[in-house]
Chains A and B, each alone.
Chain A
């Protein structure tokens, strides 16, 4: 059975003035999979994420989400196609409580209040934030806010989720929880593109890894391949 392609990039380019931040990037993400994206700081990972989610308009190349070409679409429209995203610095809604935070993606749905509420509490429960549901989001710690972002994404129920440094600054227990949830969501058919410096988690989770350096993909493959690729070792991993 041919796996369904959820995200496909071909020859994507993005420059800022004279600086070529993303250079001729090809990428393929299948249904029900987790792709890691690693590289040194400044390699272009976040820029690439921004191009995919529509915050930046790429200069050239193609961007297909669920088979739909969406190269110059706005973030709003790309999100509607089924692309969810978290941010390095969590963008939660600070002055509203956790339940309302999680309910935001489903406010336009045709469900009754009871179902909406129950779905929201389930998402919160999955990230173990249920007990804090009446607290305002600004009262959470940084790690908890990342979990909240994850819960909100669960509610949004997209096909593909872009995670930008989800584990940065999160304690190991919460990291494990996040990893469990991500794996669960993969089993449910979702796909992930995961940017992280936390190599342990990347190796645990990724079916496929892309290595970015100076805007270009210098290597890709499964965990073992990438770990042992001499180019990657030189550019990023060092001689461990």
Chain B
């Protein structure tokens, strides 16, 4: 085909440079984040808070794959997290497996559960949400119903002194790192573009040759994988779990809010949203514990009404030239 006058000859290399700029900024941000998390134990900092931060960043980044990129809002996201905690705890406490193996195994269990729940992706918007939520409730009830020797029934399990806290902390750091790198990759890959096409118009994507059910399954598995790993690391770090907290709907809620506040569908969004809101949450919780859930509810209400695309998303809408810098 003849080249037209309007296309610049070095267009593609310009495009590459622009991508490089975007990813450099992004890598800078996550390097700062990872370094600061890395240094905390060495400086006797607040391990619990930083662990929590890393966990929420992982969860928010994870949910972004299926929600922000593919357009499915999994209201039962906590099911994968919960399975991760339980598989890790059972392997360590009941079967005596080392945590270093148990946590990756938890990730695997997340993938298996995702495959089991994959048929729900055929459902449209609101049915998907309700079924997702119901499945999480079913998982929770199942865990409390199972024999006490295995799952600890409704009291849960206590790993006691078997686990090393600091190692659990670093496990979470590694998991967060992998999640962020995966997100970087997805944001620039063809898979990422295909997912967004599915989000915007699945039938048109289908007619254009995208294998919709296969492609969105990849995003679904990725999301589940990181949630399960996060759960596993949590079990390692805190050494205790019970069915109520492991499958708490508030975990899904907070993940969604943190990711949305930043901006679903962007890569930076979930990180920015999580770090900001987790800090605010910590400050508010110290001073006004009762106000906490109210504020959470208020934030999500205001977000949906006024900034459904989150801070980053709305900024990119208002100021399109920022898109050059934001991944």
Residues of A whose CB lies within 8 Å of any CB of B are 53, 75-76, 79-80, 85, 91-97, 100-101, 103-105, 107-108, 114, 117-118, 121-122, 125-126, 128, 130-131, 134-136, 139, 152, 156
Contact = CB atoms under 8 A, between A and B. Distances in A.
Given A79-B209, A80-B209, A96 B6 contact: no
A96 B303 CA distance: 22
Contacts of B210: 104, 107-108
A126 B199 CA distance: 27
A96 B208 CA distance: 15
Interface of B: 1, 3-4, 6-7, 11-12, 15, 190, 193-194, 196-197, 199-201, 203-211, 265, 320, 323-324
Contacts of B204: 91-93
Secondary structure type dominating chain B contacts: helix
A79 B6 CA distance: 31
B7 A104 contact: no
Contacts of B3: 122
A76 B206 contact: yes
A95 to B, nearest CB: 6
Contacts of A101: 197
Contacts of A91: 201, 203-204
8 contacts: A76-B207, A79-B209, A100-B193, A107-B209, A108-B209, A130-B6, A134-B320, A139-B320
Contacts of A114: 12
Contacts of B324: 134
Nearest to B313: A95
Nearest to A152: B208
Contact of B208 (A79, A95, A139): A79
B206 A107 contact: no
A94 B201 CA distance: 8
A121 B193 contact: no
A93 B200 contact: yes
Contacts of A97: 323
A156 B209 contact: yes
A7 B259 CA distance: 48
Nearest to B188: A113
A100 B196 contact: yes
Contacts, number: 86
A126 B1 CA distance: 11
Contacts of B15: 117
B193 A134 contact: no
Contacts of A122: 1, 3-4, 7
A98 B211 CA distance: 21
B308 to A, nearest CB: 12
A76 B198 CA distance: 14
Contacts of B323: 97, 134
A104 B207 contact: no
A90 B197 CA distance: 14
From A75, A91, A126, A128, residue with most partner B Cβ within 10 Å: A91
The 3 tightest CB contacts between A and B, nearest first, are A93-B200, A91-B204, A105-B208
Contacts of A92: 200-201, 204
B193 A104 contact: yes
Contacts of B207: 53, 75-76, 79, 85
A91 B203 CA distance: 9
B203 A96 contact: no
A131 B4 CA distance: 13
A93 B197 contact: yes
Contact of A96 (B4, B190, B200): B200
A95 B200 contact: yes
B200 A75 contact: no
A106 to B, nearest CB: 8
Contact of A125 (B6, B203, B206, B265): B6
B208 A104 contact: yes
Nearest to B191: A107
B195 to A, nearest CB: 10
A93 B201 contact: yes
Contacts of B12: 114, 117-118
Contacts of A128: 6
Given A125-B7, A131-B6, A107 B200 contact: no
B201 A130 contact: no
Given A93-B204, A95-B265, A105-B208, 5 more contacts: A104-B193, A107-B194, A117-B11, A118-B12, A122-B1
A236 B229 CA distance: 66
B6 A95 contact: no
A107 B193 contact: yes
